[in-house]
Amino acid sequence: MPIDSALVGALHVKYLREQDLGGDEHLHHTLFQTSTIDALLEGSYEGDVSVAELGAHGDFGLGTFDALDGEMICLDGTFYQVKADGKAYPVDGKARTPFAVVTVFEPNVSQALSMPMDFEALCGYVDGVIGDGAVCCAIRVDGHLEYVKTRSVPRQHKPYPPLVEVVENQPTFELRDVSGSLVGFRFPDYAQGLNVSGYHFHFITADRSAGGHVLGCTLTRGELHIDREGDLRLELPPDVGLPAPDQSAEKGETLDRIERE
C-alpha cells in the first residue's frame, strides 16, 4: 500500500513504492517523481523505474539514467538521453532511471517572450508571472537562443562517487544561434531534499540532436508555457527513505554548485 501522504508546504505529496505504480490514473496538474535529490546527491544511481513506467505518468519532464548515464529530457511524450558526447538519443522504454520527475503537461499560462533574457532574467520573469513563491511549476520555453551552455555526465561505475565529485569532471557544451526547448521545473525552498529548490532546466535542440542540463543561456525570443502543479506522487526505492528537512546554507551551496557550475 502507499506510504501515508503528507503536506510539504503548499504541495500535497503522496509517497509510493514500486508495486504501487501500476494503478495510477492520469491526474491533472500532478507531478510524478522517482526517488529524491538527496538520494542522488549521496550516489544512489541504481535505476529503479523504467522509462515506460515514467511515460505512464507524464509526457514532459527531466532526470537521469541508470548509473548516472547522461541527462534525461521528456518532451511531447518522447524520452531522450543526452550522453557525455552532448548528443541526444531516443530512449528505449526498458531503460531505467534512479531519479526523474514528469507530468502530463497542461499549461495554465502561455505567453510570448519578445525581449532577450539571460538565464537569471528568465527565471526572474517567470517568478513574476507565477507570483506565488510557494507554487511548484512545470515550465516549457520554445524559442531561439543566442547561446546556451549545457552539461552531461558520463556513466559511473561502482563504488559510485557522490554527485558533487562527478560534476567536477563533467563535459560541458556551448551552442550558439540555436532553436530548441527548455524543459524544467521550479520547486519552492520547502521542497529542498525532495527535489532541487529553485529552477532546474534541461535543453534540447529543435532537431532533437543535442542538449543537456542547462548551466546558462541567453534567450532571444520564445513562447513561455507554465503548468502550476498541486500534487506530487513520489516513488521511493526500497533503500531510499523520506528526506529530513534541510534548508542549511551548506546543502543549498552544494546543490547550487551542482546545478549552476
Q: Looking at residue 109, what is its pLDDT?
A: 97
The pTM for the full model equals 0.91
Work out how many domains the chain is built from and give that number. Answer: 2
Average pLDDT over residues 109-114: 98
Could you tell me if residue 241 is inside a domain?
A: no
C-alpha distances (whole Å) from 139 to each of 96, 125, 172, 211, 226 are: 24, 12, 23, 17, 5
Question: Residue 133: which pLDDT band, with cuts at 50, 70 and 90?
Answer: confident
User: Based on the domain organization, do 24 and 90 belong to the same domain?
Assistant: yes
11 phi/psi in degrees, rounded to 5: -105, 125
- DSSP 8-state class, residue 56: T
Write down the pLDDT at residue 24. Answer: 53
What is the pLDDT at residue 84?
A: 98
- pLDDT of residue 6 exceeding 70: no
Q: Considering 40, 71, 103, which residue would you say is the last residue of a domain?
A: 103
Does 164 lie in the same domain as 210?
Answer: yes
d(CA 39, CA 54): 18
Domain C-terminal end among 40, 69, 103: 103
pLDDT digits (tens, 9 = 90+) for 64-82: 999 999 999 999 999 999 9
User: Is the pLDDT confidence value at 7 over 60?
Assistant: no
One domain, residues 179 and 195 = yes
Q: Which domain holds residue 46?
A: 3-103
Q: What is the pLDDT of residues 205-258, one digit of tens each?
A: 999 999 999 999 999 999 999 999 989 999 988 888 776 655 555 666 777 777
Are residues 133 and 92 part of one domain? no
Read off the pLDDT band of 3 (50, 70, 90): very low
Predicted pLDDT at 244: 66
* CATH label of the domain that carries residue 126: 3.30.1330.80
The sign one gets for the Cα dihedral 129, 133, 137, 143 is positive
User: Do the domain assignments include residue 127?
Assistant: yes
Quick one: pLDDT at residue 248? 53
Per-residue model confidence (pLDDT) at position 192:
85
3-state DSSP assignment of residue 12: strand
pLDDT in tens, 14-63: 766 555 555 455 678 899 999 999 999 999 999 999 999 999 999 999 99
Asked if the model's pLDDT at residue 155 lies above 70, the reply is: yes
Residue 93: is its pLDDT beyond 90? Answer: yes
